[in-house]
Amino acid sequence: MFTEALKITPGITAVIGGGGKTSLLRRLGEELAENASVLLCTTTKIRPFPGIPTVYTREELDAEKERLLCMGTPGENGKLTVPEVPLAELAERFDYVLVEADGSAGRPMKAHASHEPVIPPEAGEVILVLGASGFGERIADAAHRPERYSHLAGLRPEDPVTPEAAARVIEKEGLHQKIFVNQAETALTQARCFAGLMNCPVVLGSIQKGEIYPCLF
């Protein structure tokens, strides 16, 4: 299970980084909801989760009995923004609150601007998501905010993303406690190389395939 691999603990967990955050939130929420109450929400913008009940107001939240919910304030283009109920209160009402605290424009890699990510101060831990499909691709194509990414990596935007470059960017930013490498099956050797460079827990997996992969051969 992804929750066991990532050692998700009760309270508020923020998810940041590249592509796969929303899918990870859903997977973790579904696993945790087998035995606990779980709320999915955002500090930025997120789309509602198909098949998961969404509530918008405190009154709707009070009336809902499902173990797994999404909550947010309606925004532009059908997206949800920050819930009207404070996260600290939501953490008292749910065993787990999973927060998407970042955007990446669908890119597998990301470097952060000064106003990002929007990690809630109540978050007990932060998981950074990285898409292994970005390994070997040009920084300009693989990374959200490629100019910032290439600067932190010490490379040019037209250079490829290597495990070493990804590790440099993430270590310099220092925003995480754990890392989840999604789409690991697309570049398993590079993903394992990256994991070996990091000084924190790294989990390799594929949300689409429902697989967790060992970091070593």
Cα distances (Å, whole numbers) of residue 23 to 30, 31, 55, 102, 157 = 11, 12, 19, 13, 28
Indicate the helix (H) or strand (E) that contains 32: helix 21-32
Domain that holds residue 135: 2-213
How confident is residue 216, by pLDDT bands cut at 50, 70 and 90?
Answer: confident
**How many domains does the chain contain in total?**
1
12 strand-pairing partners: 97
End-to-end CA distance of the chain: 20
Candidates 11, 33, 216; CA nearest to 124 is: 11
Give the model's pLDDT for residue 40.
Answer: 98
> Residues 178-204: what's their mean pLDDT?
97
Q: What is the pLDDT of residues 131-180, one digit of tens each?
A: 999 999 999 999 999 999 999 999 999 999 999 999 999 999 999 999 99
Give the model's pLDDT for residue 193.
Answer: 97
pLDDT at 217 over 70: no
Candidates 48, 115, 47, 43; CA nearest to 86 is: 43
Give the model's pLDDT for residue 21.
Answer: 96
**CA 57, 61, 64, 67 torsion: positive or negative?**
positive
Residue 32 has a CB neighbour count (10 Å cut-off) of: 23
The structure's pTM equals 0.96
Query: CA 39 to CA 36: how far, in whole Å?
Result: 10
pLDDT at 101 over 80: yes
Evaluate whether 190 touches 132 at the Cβ level (below 8 Å): yes
Give the model's pLDDT for residue 19.
Answer: 85
Give the model's pLDDT for residue 93.
Answer: 96
Query: CA 132 to CA 191: how far, in whole Å?
Result: 6
CATH code assigned at 136: 3.40.50.300
Evaluate whether 31 touches 114 at the Cβ level (below 8 Å): no
> Tokens in use for 45?
């913008």
